[in-house]
Structure 1
Amino acid sequence: MAVHFLHTSDWHLGQFFHNHDREYEHQQFLHWLKVQIKEKQPHALLIAGDIFDVINPASSAQKQLYQFLADVHELAPHMQTLMIAGNHDSGYRIEQVEPFLTKFNAKAVGIIAKNPDGSFDLDRLLVPIYNANKQIVAWCLTLPYLRNAEITGLNEHTHNAQDAIRYLHEQLIDAAKARKTPDQALILMSHAHMQGGETSDSERPIVIGNEEALSTSLFDDSIDYVALGHLHKPQRVGQEHIRYSGSPIPLSFSERHYKHQVLEVHIDPTLADSARFKFESLVVPRTVDLIRIRSTLSEVVNAVQALEIGEIQALNQRHFLEIEYTTDAPPPVDLRQQIEQALPPNRYRLLRLSRIYQQQLNTESSLSKIDLAPPTPESLFVRLWEKMGYEPDESVQRDFLQLLHEAQQDLDDEHA
């Protein structure tokens, strides 16, 4: 029996981008997705983590999600919505509303629970997907973002995180294979950083120096499709059926050229390997653009004046703009005012104005960029380390990132 589903992830509902909310953009995406669901009537919608941008999302962000679930249940009553927690989500929070989710044929898996004997509770991670005739057409192996405290120290196979992750995958896949019949597909949904995945600068690091990025060898040949979340760029990892759907909107300027999408997937386990799996990329329309101007100081005002014109009345619908300029001389003190006056009226939101210093050394140019964006803990640490006169040291930076990662986990657990 064939299974038909949509794969999406990394919505980051409630995100603020340089103090501007993205509610309008998310609402437009959700409206577009509802149209796709009404037309295509899939068996399931898979949301592979980072549903919200923070572990304590605003009520407006939660309302967006729950109103969407209510709406799509009315549009496609037989469709199941399966969600897992990402590293930005509180796994406990998204599971707390389970009675509410059940009314809309939705389920959220936020944590890795244990049985009374200390073993993994695999039953709650194996979710059947049904067709309109209530026949099981697939099993979804749901793996939320794996926190060390949830998976280590169970037995001799889980002394450290890497061993625990490998052991959990083996146990879960074995349990799924024991349940499935030949005409049922196996779909693994995970929020993780896979080796070989291409990152952007908006993703909170969940691995340190890529040393703990997971290998696709965790997925054996019995898995028909791996639905990944965490990396925002749509991409396959190694094999055709192991894919990140990517985020539905650009979450930073480094993502402005991404072709944001939702993946439509069909699997028929009864067909030969080359024919059993097919997918289509459903491109998400972009409603607010991210525009970057890089120019010399002498040309920057002309570049701004050359931007497309046409007023957009609502502030949250105007395009985002950042400007980077080079100059060998100090910029005029009223540069920002000059640029704002040159901007086409009521069409853009100027987020950043950054100067790039350029010096000629032995006919070679060296560039260093001053960025007016808020500093990150990592950048502050690097600056302080260099200010103290120490040479760059990857091992020290890796240790700092590990401590930062553990502190973030502790905060997530406290607020869960």
Structure 2
Amino acid sequence: MTVHFLHTSDWHLGQFFHHHEREYEHTEFLNWLLAQIKIKQPNALLIAGDIFDVVNPASSAQKQLYQFLTDAHALAPHMQTLMIAGNHDSGYRIEQVEPFLSKFNAKAVGVIKKTAEQRLDLDRLLVPIYDAEQNIVAWCLTLPYLRSAEITGISEETTNTQSAVAYLHQQLIVEAKARKQPDQALILMSHAHMQGAETSDSERPIVVGNEEALSTALFDEVIDYVALGHLHKPQQVGQPHIRYSGSPIPLSFSELNYKHQVLEVKIDPTRTDAQRFQCESLLIPRSVELIRVRCELSELMNELAKLPQDEIADLCARHFLEIEYLSDAPPPVDLRQQIEQTLPANRYRLLRIARRFQKNEDTNLQHSKIDLEPPTPEKLFASLWEKMGYQPDQDATRDFLQLLAEAQHELDQNKA
């Protein structure tokens, strides 16, 4: 029996980009995804974490998710929607609405729990996927983002984070093998940073103990597909069946050239040839463009004048614009005014104007920014090292990020 599902992740509903909300772009994506569900009629939709951008999302972001689940169920009543919590989500929060989710054939796994006998609760993590006739066609092994404090000590074998992660995967896969029938597939869904995968600058660092990334060796050969979340660039990791779907919209200018997509996967466990596993990228139309203009200061106005000039009535549909100009001389005092007069009044949202120095163009670039975005803790940490005349030490940086992640998690839990 063939299992047919869609793999997506890292929606980051409720995200603000340089103080601009992204609700319009997310709505356009979700409407597009609903159209795909109506046409494809998959057995399942897998959302591999970071559903929301923060652990305490705005009511508008929550409404977007629940309206989508309602509409998706109406279009494909047999389709299951399976979600896991990412490092931006509150695992407890997304599980709180389980009675509501069940009415729309949806399920969320947010945290790792123990049974009354203090054993790892594997039943919660192993979710059957059914076809339209209610036959089990696959088992989904759901692993939300694994926080060190929540998994270390879950058994006698889990004395540290690394052993805890290995133990969880091992136990879950052993149980899945015991339940699996020959005509059923095994799908593992996880929110993690895998070794060898390419990152962008918009992902919050995940540091697990002293290891920054997990090995694909955790995945047994019996696993037919690994649906990953966390990294925003669509990519496979090592093997064709281990994949990040990527984010549906660009979350920073480092994602400017990403081909955002949802993955359509079909697995026929009864076959042993190349037709056993099929994967197709469904490219997501970009409703709002990210435009970066880079040129010498003397050419800047000419380059801006070449941009499309027609207006866009809806503010939320206007394109994001970033400008970097090359010059050693100080900019004119009215530079921003000149830029705004050159651009059409209602087409672009100007986010940043940055100066690049010509003498450093081929070495270390310096920037003079007209930008009031607050620095991140990571950038402050690195700048302190540089002010002391040193390059950031790798071990110190890793320890700092570990402390930062723990502090952020504690703060997020207190807010939730």
TM-score, normalised on structure 2?
Answer: 0.96
**Deviation for aligned residue 1:348:** 0.5
**Equivalent residue runs for 1:16-415 within 5 Å:** 16-207=16-207, 211-359=211-359, 365-371=363-369, 372=371, 373-390=373-390, 392-415=392-415
Question: How much is the aligned-residue C-alpha RMSD, in angstroms?
Answer: 1.6
- Aligned mates of 1:76, 1:60 — CA distance in 2: 24
SS in 1 for 2:242: strand
SS in 1 for 2:359: strand
**Deviation for aligned residue 1:183:** 0.2
SS in 2 for 1:367: coil
Residue type of the partner of 2:88? H
**Deviation for aligned residue 1:210:** 8.7
**Deviation for aligned residue 1:115:** 1.4
The number of aligned residues is 414
Any unmatched runs of 5+ in structure 1?
A: none
Tell me which moved more, 146-155 or 226-235: 146-155
CA contact (8 A) 1:208 1:398 kept: no
CA contact (8 A) 1:232 1:247 kept: yes
Provide, for residues 288-313 of structure 1, a one-character-per-residue CA deviation record: whole Å limited to 9, x for no partner. Answer: 00000111111111111110121100
- Aligned mates of 1:365, 1:244 — CA distance in 2: 33
Provide, for residues 200-258 of structure 1, a one-character-per-residue CA deviation record: whole Å limited to 9, x for no partner. Answer: 01000012799330100101111000000000000000000000000000000010100
SS in 2 for 1:104: coil
Tell me which moved more, 296-305 or 91-100: 296-305
- Aligned mates of 2:347, 2:360 — CA distance in 1: 37
Structure 2 CA distance for partners of 1:337 and 1:208, relative to 1, 3 Å: farther
Tell me which moved more, 250-259 or 199-208: 199-208
Provide, for residues 170-224 of structure 1, a one-character-per-residue CA deviation record: whole Å limited to 9, x for no partner. Answer: 0000000100100000000000000011000100001279933010010111100
The residue number in structure 2 matching 1:3 is 3
- Aligned mates of 2:51, 2:27 — CA distance in 1: 14
- Aligned mates of 2:76, 2:252 — CA distance in 1: 33
Residue type of the partner of 2:330? P
Residue type of the partner of 2:106? A
**Deviation for aligned residue 1:391:** 5.0
Structure 2 CA distance for partners of 1:223 and 1:360, relative to 1, 3 Å: closer
SS in 1 for 2:275: coil
- Aligned mates of 1:53, 1:397 — CA distance in 2: 24
Structure 2 CA distance for partners of 1:273 and 1:242, relative to 1, 3 Å: farther
**Deviation for aligned residue 1:367:** 2.0
- Aligned mates of 1:204, 1:255 — CA distance in 2: 14
Residue type of the partner of 2:365? L
CA contact (8 A) 1:359 1:366 kept: no
Residue type of the partner of 1:367? L
Any unmatched runs of 5+ in structure 2?
A: none
TM-score, normalised on structure 1?
Answer: 0.96
CA contact (8 A) 1:237 1:243 kept: yes
CA contact (8 A) 1:152 1:161 kept: yes
Structure 2 CA distance for partners of 1:90 and 1:333, relative to 1, 3 Å: same
